[in-house]
Amino acid sequence: MNISLLGKNALVGGSSKGIGEAIARQLASSGANVTLMARNETNMKAIVSELSLDQGQKHQYLVVDFSNFEAFKKAITTFFEQNTIDILVNNTQGPQAGGALEKKVEDYQKAFDFLFKSVVLTTELALKGMQKKKWGRIINVASISVKEPLNYLALSNSIRAAVVTWAKSLAFDVAKDGITVNNVLTGYFDTDRIAQLNVTKAEKMGITPGEVRLSMEAQVPMKRIGRPEEYGFLVAFLASQQSAYITGTNIPIDGGLLKSF
């Protein structure tokens, strides 16, 4: 199966590193014109210069801060006044770690703004062009914790679950327009985010981050942490014409870690 995204315009959130970067690179390799979207302009500028141009694509980047909703709203609204996209990958940085008893109402509100409101707003703006074309792909980067909550990620558990259920409702409403909406439930991947969480866990447990990682690997049936490029392969498929009959789903990519189904 040859996945071609030639002529498609993609917007990828959180794409200055990690999973978002891997997704952007794979979409570009598949022929899409890619717009990176994140805070780190230096990283994005470097990545854009490295993205595939083999099929005559044009790539760009958009500097945004998901944690400042009003500033984000202004930036993303301006972007869509000048651009239309076919593929939207909703991906933001994760909220701070911590259990339910450690977090206050204000923490949940902040997490709601950058994990939920930013996703809904970006999708709302992207849908206008997709509905006119009668074609679109919306892919939300979520977490396996929406099915099996991780007690040290109370904010992520709660708000990402809201994104997933909202996406299911949206999928029903836009299916008639040839637009699919799917959630990818992320397991353990070799990213800076995992490394940072491991440092926090190690401090609480009185062990080293390396020991935390070994414990994580042992939990995964495949006995390893995922590679970001493997994530990119899945998203490229979900962005393609070949996935046209897949919508409203939650697809785990976790090496078999989830015990539920």
In the set 61, 108, 152, 231, the catalytic residue is 152
> What would the 3-class secondary structure string for 178-226 be?
CEEEEEEEECCECCHHHHHHHHHHHHHHCCCHHHHHHHHHHHCCCCCCE
Look up 61 and say whether it is catalytic: no
Q: How far apart are CA 117 and CA 230, in angstroms?
A: 28
Q: How far apart are CA 10 and CA 232, in angstroms?
A: 13
Quick check: 151 and 97 in contact, CB under 8 A?
no
Quick check: 183 and 140 in contact, CB under 8 A?
yes
Q: In what order do the strands lie in the sheet with 250-253?
A: 60-63, 33-38, 9-13, 87-90, 136-143, 179-186, 250-253
Sorted by sequence, the CB contacts under 8 Å of residue 56 that are 6+ apart come out as none
Instruction: Give the residue among 213, 155, 160 at the shortest CA–CA distance from 186.
Output: 160
Instruction: Name the strand (E) or helix (H) holding 239.
Output: none
Sorted by sequence, the CB contacts under 8 Å of residue 114 that are 6+ apart come out as 66, 67, 69, 72, 92, 93, 95
- 8-state DSSP, 97: P
Annotated active-site positions, please? 152
